[in-house]
Structure 1
Amino acid sequence: MAGSNLCPRPRLAAGAHGVTWSGHQRGYQSHRSRAGSSCGAGRRDGRTDGQVAQVAQSQVAVSRVPVPRVPVPGRLRQAGVPCPQASVGSTPSCSHPVPEMAQLTELHPGNYLFYDLQQTLLGSCHPEEVAIRVLTRVIGHYPHRNQLLVDCGWAALSLHGRDQAPTGCAALEGHPQLRLVGLTQEHGQVEAIDGRLDFGRFPLGSILALIPFHACATAAMHPVYYVHAGGKVVELWHPVRGW
């Protein structure tokens, strides 16, 4: 995205076709950091092609997204150092743009396209704005354990979030009374949060939709994304691999 075009987040099916990751991110701690310490592409002649920073502090506060700090481009220019490109990451910052971000020429937020449970906890988005789901089938009933067995394990979801949110690695869409309590490589265990599980509501073969804690980790597990609208698959997206 261009830094000056800070428009509201588009819907999933709006037509974006890829996510670009930067392999050369440099963080900075405060307005008093030396300008040169945050340059992402310095040159021997003293010029800089651009400044790249990851505003890590914007992902710390739960339910509050702090104002991102973007002082370095302006300080470099005031010092007479050309800085034609200024790039910053962070989905929370991109979700809550501020006037100071007009100094930027680029934003590269990690999971702004999808959002996830983590971003809802950070205050970047509302739950209904999360666009990523992993579909899984019920393949076993275990009344003696009060659990369902599903065919989605950590190889399709990742273990990120296991100890960081009440829902664990994922929430079950439309079933707040259920929780994912265990993951092996290929399988997951689902149980009722309180009381006995109604197995009749979840026959073998029924489909459940998992909302992952961390979209980046989950998306990296899959070779294709099914984009749907109106109950129909309208596009297949193939992610770019490698760094």
Structure 2
Amino acid sequence: MITLKNVVKTYDDKTVLKDLSVDFPDGKTTVILGPSGSGKSTLLRSLDLLVRPESGTIDFGDISLDYSKPVSKKQSFDIRKKTSMVFQNWNLFPNLTVLQNVTTAPITVLKRPKKQTEQEARQYLAQVGLAEYADRYPSQLSGGQQQRVSICRAVAMNPEYVLLDEPTSALDPELETQVLLILEDLSKMGQSMILVTHNMEFARSVADKIIFVEDGDILFDGTPDEFFNHPTTRIKDFLSGITFNDTEK
């Protein structure tokens, strides 16, 4: 389990995370929801130190970190070994093949044997329907295919938690569905995931836990049933706005 306590993050004069405390259970999918600018991505990125809050603590069970104190390279490395991030815009290395994109970090960072790592990578690619693309370059793939590769790259690190920041926001609906099906399979396999998304149907189907963030505060922390079927007035308004925007598209 990941536990955050009393986390505060500011940008200039704006407090983005306000003394925030929350748990992310192991083996479950936690979905972070909220309006734009609410602090969702900042919260997610605090988990692997892409964002450094000014105060508060993070506890991974065997690793604890006080954000207000200097972080050593070893502490940073130990935290990031436990997590793997998937971004909105897949961020693949354009000069590397698909296979190399998936295997480079496990081989160079984690010092895993090359042959075994490549075999595992090919298995991951096969699972997402990209076995025949292993020797192609990112420019030869569609956006949906590239995002599937980035998910394989994340999973290849064998992280305790896969972190996903709006992984389908740059995709059209058909490609989005392809990627969401992959994530749903990962969830069913018990891969711990923490996901920021605007896709309410996906959140409803895949989440074990939902966190609703607004203005740096957690306004809801509970089950999908509670969130969608017994919403507060604020959550009703949020869901109505999401539905209207989807209809307008």
TM-score w.r.t. length of structure 2: 0.25
Q: By percentage of residues, which structure has more helix?
A: 2
Q: Report which structure shows greater RCO (CA 8 Å, sep ≥6).
A: 2
Which structure is larger by alpha-carbon Rg, 1 or 2? 1
TM-score w.r.t. length of structure 1: 0.26
